[in-house]
Amino acid sequence: MLPLITEDIRQVVLNETLVDVAIWRKKMIHYLKEENPEINAAIIDAAQATNLDPKSIALGAYLTYVLLEKADKAEASFVDDILD
């Protein structure tokens, strides 16, 4: 099951992203190359294989990845707090 993306998480990620979309997207390319190169390759392949704007496709995929990653960490932290 996917983690719950709260309104707070959504706002934080969007605020980070929208400061400078091009720089944020480039940062994510490098981050995912290290963190999960298979996902990064899939995002780039999908972005290049469509008739849509590849930068927009990649931005959406990276945004989704970060939202899920932050939500997963928030849920793990919540569970840890309950168990303590």
What's the pLDDT at 79?
A: 66
Taking the CA atoms of the chain, what radius of gyration do you get in angstroms? 14
Q: Which pLDDT belongs to residue 84?
A: 65
pLDDT of residue 17: 95
Phi, psi of 74 (to 5 degrees): -65, -40
pLDDT of residue 81: 65
Checking if the pLDDT of 10 tops 80, the result is: yes
pTM of full prediction above 0.75 = yes
For range 38-51, the mean pLDDT? 91
**Residue ranges of domains in the chain:** 7-77
Taken in order 5, 8, 11, 17, is the CA torsion positive or negative? negative
DSSP state of 5: -
